[in-house]
Amino acid sequence: MKILRVSLFFFIFLAPFAYVTVQAFTGTYGINYGRIANNLPSPDEVVTLLKAAKIRNVRIYDADQSVLKEFSGTGLEIVVGLPNGNLRDVSADGDHAMNWVQDNVLAYLPDTCIRGIAIGNEVLGGSDQFSGFLLGAVKNVYDAVNKLKLSDVVQITTAHSQAVFANSFPPSSCVFQDNVVQYMKPLLEFFSQIGSPFCLNAYPFLAYMYDPEHIDINYALFLPTEGANDPKTKLHYDNLLDAQIDAAYAALEDAGFKKMEVIVTETGWASHGDENESAATVDNARTYNYNLRKRLAKMKGTPLRPKNVVRAYVFALFNENLKPGPTSERNFGLFKPDGSISYDIGFPGLKSSSADSLLLSLKDNRGCSWCGCYSIILTMATAFLLVFSR
Phi, psi (degrees; rounded to nearest 5) at 63: -135, 55
User: What is the dihedral sign for C-alpha 145, 14, 6, 379?
Assistant: positive
Q: Tell me which H or E stretch contains 329.
A: none
Are 222 and 269 contacting, i.e. CB atoms less than 8 angstroms apart?
A: no
136 with 129: CB under 8 angstroms? no
Provide CB contacts within 8 A for 384, sequence distance 6+.
9, 12, 13
**Strand, coil or helix: 294:** helix
Active site residues: 122, 266
**CA–CA gap between residue 188 and residue 158 (Å, rounded):** 10
Would you say 250 and 198 are in contact if contact means Cβ atoms under 8 Å apart?
A: no
- β-pairing verdict for 262-267 and 175-176: unpaired
Residues recorded for the chain: 390
User: What is the three-class DSSP state of 75?
Assistant: coil
